[in-house]
Structure 1
Amino acid sequence: MTSNQLQIIKDRINSYLSSYRINPALEELDSLAAATNASWNIREKIASIRENYNLMGKYALDGINDSSRTQVRNDIISGITATTDIILREAKLQDSPKLYFSALRYERLQGDTTIASLIELYKEKNNRMAMGLMTGNTDIKEPDGRNLSEVLDNIAARIFNKVWTTHPFTQSDTHALSMFMKDATISKNIKLQLIGAVMLGGMEYFSENRLLMLGEIYNGNMPELEIHALCALLLTMWMQREHIHTSKIKSMIATLSELPAWQADVKMAFLQFIRTRDTERINRTMREDVIPSMMKIRPDINKIVKDDPDILDPMSLEDNPEWEELFEKSGLGSKLRELSEMQAEGADVMMSTFAHLKSFPYFNEVAHWFQPFFPEQHHVSKALGGNSIELAEMLESTPMLCDSDKYSMAFSLEQVAGAARKVMLEQIKAQNINMAELKNSSLLPDANSRENIANKYVQDLYRFFSLYRRKNEFANPFASPVNLVEIPEIAAAFDADDTLQLVAQFYFKRKYFNEAYTIYSMMLEHGASDAQTLQKAGYCMQQLCDIARATELYERSELLNPDNQWTQRRLAICYRSLGQYDKASKYYEKLLKLNPDDLSLSLHLGNCYLDLKRYDDALKQYFKVEFMDSESKRALRPLAWCLLITGQSQRSRSYYEKIIADAPTSNDYLNYGHLEMAQGNFRDAITRYRESIKLSGNDYEKWKELFNADRNELITLNVDPFIIDLVADNI
């Protein structure tokens, strides 16, 4: 069967399961097993699932009450999904060009190698390395002449690939990896690396044991391992959210939720996930605003540098009035301050800088993207050459870079000449001293804090899924918003109103209104009834163009805080958008009594009166705006139109002449043409209409719709319908 045919069958099975139609799903699974010549143990698994379903159905239909039957059904669905994946995986193994299957084919060619056997090989080499280091030997060689640290790195990559591509992930695999994670003689670096392998495999195919493994690691006693495992667990659950409702996973989450740090850690990790939404916006700001602005002021910068060479001293840049004035005039200062504030909040401002430094050969290996940076790493030692340890230790202690970017920096330094590298070394050293001072003054987060660990790990993950050369072969958890509140098993961690408020405010502040509304809606369902929550939920709906829902929420907010003018303004806007002009006008009248000099309210009220055909009242408001703000032109257009509609065409002409003389729009010429029609100047009207079409981009069909929409107004102005059609035909 072709891959498309296999996918069609899988989609049918998933469709049946989504509506709890287990029997037809099992029939499709039987057909799939037969078509792919599935092994006998797969067929036995299918038979066992069918037997369990039949027993459950028998007891239920016999009227036997069983409180666990919903969970039993969920476990059956999970079993069908897992079995389907196993069959499809074997069918794709032979000829799929995907990297996952290439790695899997390679591992199978290695004979009877297992996760456990590879771990034993690693431990053997690691013990030999430890013995050598104890005797002061840092350059230990294998019999074939290879450096032992390089051999260890290669074995670690083998273990990574084996853990990543093993499916199903058996109890023996889980046990071997669990014991390895608990082994105190093993470096945390490979343990952190393998957490990524567990996650990648779990995203590729749903595996209950992988999630249980990550939960076990989180419930440990080493912060880095715990936070990496938690982030991997949550992202994998998000990617497999349709399949995670098994009894064992629910039991695991229930156990973890009893831990004192669980709720705070989940909230913290969630905030790191949603901060990735800012990364692309920051990249765009750097690409479209900051860098072009820097290029524009480059001549001025060169002039300042030429006049004062000492300006290149970083210390002399601080509080330099020439630089400050230059940045402010260009608008660059505000952009840089915004980026600085976002970085202080944990945003990833380094992505755009290092995105082009991921083409080094080191990054061709999937395992390397998940490898923590450490000075003894043999690729780093080779790249930095002399003084490699000193420089690598400086990079390691740089708190603003994630591990992936530290590797990029190290490999970039390999290409820098000796003198220039020495200068960079001094700059990095000076920066680290400054960072240490900030850290000591509590202005910089502790690099070892749980939040900072999560922040940097999520940045590493984001880089892999966004920048790896074969990234399209991996399901990207950051391709759409990671919204953990949608996972029932996790949602309990967000029950506290302050947690939901924090998450909602993050989305709201950054104008991610769809996600913000989801959280505000959850808060309202949990019993929140304050006016501000209703206001913000309403504003989200308004920005998402669901005006009816926004109006409903604003009305509820007004009941709780009837004197809030912000809510009243929003209600007026919404009522007018819904065509309820009378209600809108009443709100504007009320607001205008409280703010008689607010000309924007007068203008909006005039527009409502115009919609209600209360032309005299509309003119009073427009003339008020014109009188009180003679320099402004915002009342010209509604005044000209209102005068035209009320038959005051000559007065209307005086306003249209002002409008046409100052950057007219297509609609301005359209209305000017209507004026000519009203005064019987039909040839002049054709000229105005042609100008209108030209300014519309020569989109005649769109223009014709606007013209026809005003037909009744033209007839009201005593223009003969015959003339209207004739003029339109001669444009």
Structure 2
Amino acid sequence: MDEKIEEIYLLLDNKAVKAALLKIESAALEINEGEIGDEAHNLLVSYEMMISYIMQGIKDPNMHDMIRKSLAHAYNITERIALIKRHKNSDSTISKINKAISSEYIPLDKIQKKLENYTENIGTADLIYSPDDIDDKKLDMSKKHEEVVNYMFNKTYASLRWSETDHIQAKELMSSLLITDEDKAIFLSAITMSLLHVFDDKKFLLLISSYNNESALISARALVGVVIILQINSKCINFYPEILAQLSILKDDKRVVKDLRNIQLQFLMTRETDNFDKKIREGIMEDVMKVKRDSEDIDDTDGENPDWEKIKYDSGFSDKLMEINELQSSGADIYMHSFAPLKKYGFFFKISHWFYPFFTYQSDIFPIINRMKNEEIPFIDIMIKSVFFCNLDKYSLCFTFQSIPASQKEQFLSQFSELNENYSDKNEIIKLFEEESKRSDIISRLYIQDLYRFFKLWNYKNEENDIFNDKFDLWNNPYLCDLLSDEETLKQIGSFLIKYDYLQEAQQIYQLMNITIPEDAESWQKTGFILQKLSRCEEAIRCYLRADMLVPEQKWTNLHLAQCYKKIGEYTKAIEYYKIIEELNPENLNIDIQIGQCFIKLEKYKEAQQYFYKVIYIDENNINALRALGWCLAQTGNYDEAKKYFSLVIGEDKANAYDYINLGHVNIIQGNIVDAINNYRIGAVLIFDKEKIFKTIDESKVFLRSHGVSEDYISILTDLII
């Protein structure tokens, strides 16, 4: 951002209004825009006059309102100056659009009339034109219609500020019954994009009011737009009482909590887009390709080999496909990177097209659909009505399907047919998709995926500030947090954040839950779990104890209490809770090992031995128990027994450096110097890192002294080992 603009924002944020207005006037003169210069000067004069009245002791009941309006106007002028400075004398999209619009200005009421005429003309076309001419006529109408739609988008997208007339005409356009929902949705997207550049209260008010539209497409786009602006460009909101009033009314709508919850989860899901792609490419698709290679190696000259299915089963093929399905069902964007190369078609050169809902009468798509052969129609019909592909990817699919060679197309259709052979009635699939496509959560998800593609893939994306760099933690947004404070919403957000390891944010959510729903044991458990993962075990213990008080004797709570007490070195308390779990689940050998380890830390080796003997009695090859028992026996002077257990561990593949070193300790205690040195040297080789070797030797000296090893041997231990 320009340094002067940054300085102005800093002054405004700190309510140094006069100093800011002086710099705004100066910045307005630099860009040589007469209208903005006049606005800046008049605003400064008005503000100075108000200040002079105050200094004279004149009381003005409207003073607060005047200050508010001055700040709002100052921010607006600053944003407009910043946008003009950024794009003036450049070859940016906004500059090109402004040049094109200035050569042929069309007001919104004229645009409305053109859009309404299209709806009337396309609706009566079948009655007017012959069957031979109808497709060409409809295509021609669609092309002319889209010219108007694109102009409407560009005009709105590049506009700095609406006049009152613009606002009235925009409301009339949105209320027109003859304009399609798709056209209105594109208009709302243009408004949203414009508001990201320069905040305009009139545009934002229209966005808010459009949420009440009966069309799910319009309502969903409007709310997504409201959320984006409240999150990205909201510093001016408090200066507009009418906006605050409309937001307050919005909160009374029963739908908004559920819709906002879905939008929050969908924006959170975008954080994982790259991870989903990596998971599919490196995990799932590699396994799928392996199945294909293995299948090709099988001799199938006598027909299908039954081992093919075995290969698929053994490789986890079906599990991988199920994993893809589960990701899709959860709202994961798994096609972003697969479809990214397909955003190079001419259709995507126009900025407005990135915000088009998918519709088959779009002029680039209409001829493709019309040329489809009978066997191709089921595929394309399912794809374009699918709720798994966003609007932009559906356009990509159509363009790609049109361009692939006939032989590949046949192979593709054959595979598609096999994939859907289990469905007896494809019409049922289409019917299901059509029903789901009307749901607001599906519409908003696909729209957010479209937006993600625009900000990541648009050829001139560097001209825009990528909104997806924001965390979209709406629970921290002052205008939206109240709508995300109900139990179900907080639980869903919290579960997502834990699942994908956003622990700091998850902690915020569960702290909110602990305040709003203090009697919910699960939320205290999850708060403790998060704090435990963040290594804040003492805080975690307090949460687990609260959960235990609400729902006593839960195995999960007691286990995590034991883990935390062990982690902070309170081994007696850890044993207390491990023993509770042991009573509930006496067959859990890992609990016995944990108790034994705690007794070792307390240097109660005989008590520890009892637990390790129990484990070995049930599982004689349990390495952890064998290793720990050997150490306990060495500590209590049972050296021969200790050697026996250390040797058993070393006889297994899982032996580590410290098993050899511990055996070396016992040998040197018993005077078996040559064996001890041999054990130590193998351990040192396995450790490899010299600093770790020195540290290990140093830590061993106390143990060796306490078991009678002479100081002469201890002093030269390093030289004997290395």
* Alpha-carbon displacement from aligned partner over 1:502-550 (angstroms, at most 9, x marks no partner): 4434444555544443332222211331222211222222223332222
**Residue 640 of structure 1 aligns to a residue in which SS?**
helix
Partner of residue 176 from structure 2, selected from 176, 183, 197: 183
Is 1:272 paired with 2:266?
yes
Cα pair 1:122 1:155 within 8 Å, conserved: no
- Match of residue 197 from structure 1: 190
Alpha-carbon distance in structure 2 between the residues aligned to 1:200 and 1:121: 19
How many residues of Structure 1 are paired with residues of Structure 2 in the alignment? 701
Is 1:664 paired with 2:655?
yes
- Match of residue 225 from structure 2: 232
Cα pair 2:387 2:433 within 8 Å, conserved: no
Partner of residue 354 from structure 1, selected from 329, 339, 364: 339
Alpha-carbon distance in structure 2 between the residues aligned to 1:592 and 1:209: 66
C-alpha spacing 1:591/1:43, structure 2 compared with 1 (3 Å)? same
Is 1:403 paired with 2:387?
no
Partner of residue 45 from structure 1, selected from 43, 46, 53: 43
Cα pair 2:386 2:433 within 8 Å, conserved: no
**Residue 586 of structure 2 aligns to a residue in which SS?**
coil
- Match of residue 439 from structure 2: 449
- Match of residue 206 from structure 2: 213
* Alpha-carbon displacement from aligned partner over 1:615-651 (angstroms, at most 9, x marks no partner): 2212222222122210322212322333344444444
Give the partner amino acid of 1:180: L
**Stretch moving more, 152-161 or 608-617:** 152-161
Cα pair 2:188 2:207 within 8 Å, conserved: yes
- Match of residue 259 from structure 1: 253
Is 1:520 paired with 2:518?
no
Deviation at 1:585, TM superposition (A): 1.6
- Match of residue 631 from structure 2: 641
Is 1:415 paired with 2:403?
yes
- Match of residue 34 from structure 2: none
Alpha-carbon distance in structure 2 between the residues aligned to 1:412 and 1:139: 22
Deviation at 1:558, TM superposition (A): 0.9
Matched ranges for 1:52-131 at <5 A: 81-94=75-88, 102-110=92-100, 112=102, 117=107, 120=110, 123-124=113-114, 127=117, 131=121
- Match of residue 652 from structure 1: 642
C-alpha spacing 1:570/1:653, structure 2 compared with 1 (3 Å)? same
- Match of residue 536 from structure 1: 526
Partner of residue 460 from structure 1, selected from 441, 450, 466: 450
Alpha-carbon distance in structure 2 between the residues aligned to 1:443 and 1:688: 68
Give the partner amino acid of 2:159: T
Is 1:289 paired with 2:289?
no
Is 1:5 paired with 2:3?
yes
Alpha-carbon distance in structure 2 between the residues aligned to 1:212 and 1:545: 46
Is 1:369 paired with 2:345?
no
Alpha-carbon distance in structure 1 between the residues aligned to 2:105 and 2:368: 31
Is 1:34 paired with 2:32?
no
Cα pair 2:250 2:256 within 8 Å, conserved: yes
Alpha-carbon distance in structure 2 between the residues aligned to 1:170 and 1:678: 93
Alpha-carbon distance in structure 2 between the residues aligned to 1:354 and 1:503: 28
- Match of residue 596 from structure 1: 586
Give the partner amino acid of 1:265: D
Deviation at 1:84, TM superposition (A): 3.7
Cα pair 1:531 1:558 within 8 Å, conserved: yes
**Stretch moving more, 285-294 or 41-50:** 41-50
Alpha-carbon distance in structure 2 between the residues aligned to 1:45 and 1:297: 71
* Alpha-carbon displacement from aligned partner over 1:129-149 (angstroms, at most 9, x marks no partner): 95486332657799xxx9564
Cα pair 2:21 2:40 within 8 Å, conserved: no
* Alpha-carbon displacement from aligned partner over 1:56-114 (angstroms, at most 9, x marks no partner): 9999x99x999x97x99887765554444333333323366xxxx71222233346468
Partner of residue 538 from structure 2, selected from 525, 548, 552: 548
Q: TM-score, normalised by structure 2?
A: 0.83
**Residue 596 of structure 1 aligns to a residue in which SS?**
coil
- Match of residue 363 from structure 2: 378
Q: TM-score, normalised by structure 1?
A: 0.82
Q: Which runs of 5+ in 1 are unaligned?
A: 312-320
**Residue 373 of structure 1 aligns to a residue in which SS?**
coil
Cα pair 1:115 1:173 within 8 Å, conserved: no
* Alpha-carbon displacement from aligned partner over 1:124-167 (angstroms, at most 9, x marks no partner): 4873795486332657799xxx9564454344334323322322
**Stretch moving more, 325-334 or 476-485:** 476-485
- Match of residue 295 from structure 2: 301
Partner of residue 339 from structure 1, selected from 301, 319, 324: 324
- Match of residue 437 from structure 1: 428
Cα pair 2:328 2:388 within 8 Å, conserved: no
- Match of residue 312 from structure 2: 327
Alpha-carbon distance in structure 2 between the residues aligned to 1:55 and 1:708: 80
Deviation at 1:570, TM superposition (A): 0.6
Is 1:585 paired with 2:575?
yes
Alpha-carbon distance in structure 2 between the residues aligned to 1:522 and 1:344: 28
- Match of residue 613 from structure 1: 603
Alpha-carbon distance in structure 1 between the residues aligned to 2:20 and 2:673: 72
Q: Which runs of 5+ in 2 are unaligned?
A: 31-36
Cα pair 2:284 2:320 within 8 Å, conserved: yes
Alpha-carbon distance in structure 1 between the residues aligned to 2:647 and 2:150: 76
**Residue 489 of structure 1 aligns to a residue in which SS?**
coil
Give the partner amino acid of 1:42: A
Partner of residue 551 from structure 2, selected from 545, 558, 561: 561
- Match of residue 33 from structure 2: none
Matched ranges for 1:118-197 at <5 A: 120=110, 123-124=113-114, 127=117, 131=121, 134=125, 135-136=128-129, 138=134, 149-197=142-190
Deviation at 1:603, TM superposition (A): 0.5
Alpha-carbon distance in structure 2 between the residues aligned to 1:89 and 1:235: 19
**Residue 597 of structure 1 aligns to a residue in which SS?**
coil
Alpha-carbon distance in structure 1 between the residues aligned to 2:178 and 2:4: 46
Cα pair 2:360 2:369 within 8 Å, conserved: no
**Residue 224 of structure 2 aligns to a residue in which SS?**
helix
**Stretch moving more, 219-228 or 685-694:** 685-694
Give the partner amino acid of 2:252: E
Alpha-carbon distance in structure 2 between the residues aligned to 1:644 and 1:77: 78
